[in-house]
Amino acid sequence: MRKELCELTKNSLFLNKQIASTIDENSQRVTRQTLLRNVGLHSVRDFEDRMGFSAHPAHGTTMAGDPTVSYYKSSFEGNLIYMIGFCGFFTYFGDLDEGILS
């Protein structure tokens, strides 16, 4: 079974403005399916739930159906980072075991 990527926070990633800017500048847009395949369904669903998205369109707005949500991949010091862009902010996902801890 493939390991899911964790959401990276300022406490878990040395994510200062300079590093975030480097990650953002090197990002490439990807599809939702690519993000799900590489981040993992559980991690993405947890994020969706916290942001108030519904799991199914019958119950409200889903993240998949929201045109303001975008998905990206990037890298930092050789570590693959995936991002969800929503409302002008990015949430970063990466492998905490890959040496990107502060």
Top mean-pLDDT range of 15-24, 43-52, 83-92: 43-52
Compare 32 and 12 and report the one with higher pLDDT: 32
Distances (CA, A) of 72 to 27, 82, 85: 6, 6, 8
pTM of the predicted model, to two decimals?
Answer: 0.77
| Residue 4 confidence (pLDDT) | 66
Q: What confidence category does residue 93 fall into, taking pLDDT thresholds of 50, 70 and 90?
A: confident
